[in-house]
Amino acid sequence: MNTQSLINEAIKARENAYAPYSKFKVGAAILMNDQTVFTGCNVENASYGLTNCAERTAIFSAVANGKGSGKIEAIAIVGDTEGPVSPCGACRQVIAEFSDENTKVFLTNLKGDVAETTINQLLPGLFSSKDLEV
């Protein structure tokens, strides 16, 4: 799947966002290394802190569908932001869990801005499974 198609999947997923509190809808789409695609949206809660972001929804969906041993080839995230949307710290760490140095991260918005980055740029010095090896 090409980048624009992945971004379009994220835009579609964003429509399903459950964001009655912030009204800030976010969509994410991930292309796994086996070429399967999973999408997610943010899901808020009256107990605000229980909110799950779009990126984590997409990744948890992939894992729930048997892709936990796979890697993310590309992820597209879209919000209605001035510039490309910026993933929160929790999502950066969760994206890192299923990424490698080749994972492409596309930060986008509804205006069509696209910024390509990497997990190492988003989360330098990240904690990973390597740190658990003794």
- Known active-site residue 55: yes
Q: Which of 51, 117, 120, 128 binds ligand DUR (CB under 6 A)?
A: 51
53 is an annotated ligand-binding site residue: yes
* DSSP per-residue string spanning 31-73: EETTS-EEEEE-B--SSGGG-B-HHHHHHHHHIIIIITT--EE
Whose Cβ is closer to ligand DUR: residue 15's or residue 34's?
A: 15
Query: 44 touches which of Zn ion, ligand DUR, none (CB within 5 to 8 A by kind)?
Result: ligand DUR
CB of 21 to ligand DUR, least distance (A): 7
9 touching ligand DUR, by CB under 6 A: no
Residue 12, class by beta-carbon neighbours within 10 Å (0-12 exposed, 13-18 middle, 19+ buried)? middle
Give the C-alpha separation, 27 to 14, whole Å.
4
What residues have CB less than 8 Å from 18, skipping those under 6 apart? Answer: 41, 42, 43, 44
What residues have CB less than 8 Å from 133, skipping those under 6 apart? Answer: none
114 is an annotated ligand-binding site residue: no
Whose Cβ is closer to Zn ion: residue 2's or residue 121's?
A: 121
**From 55, 73, 97, 133, the catalytic residue:** 55
Q: Which of 4, 65, 88, 102 binds ligand DUR (CB under 6 A)?
A: 88
- What are the residues binding ligand DUR (CB under 6 A)? 19, 22, 24, 26, 42, 44, 51, 53-55, 77, 85, 87-88, 91
Q: Report the catalytic residues.
A: 55
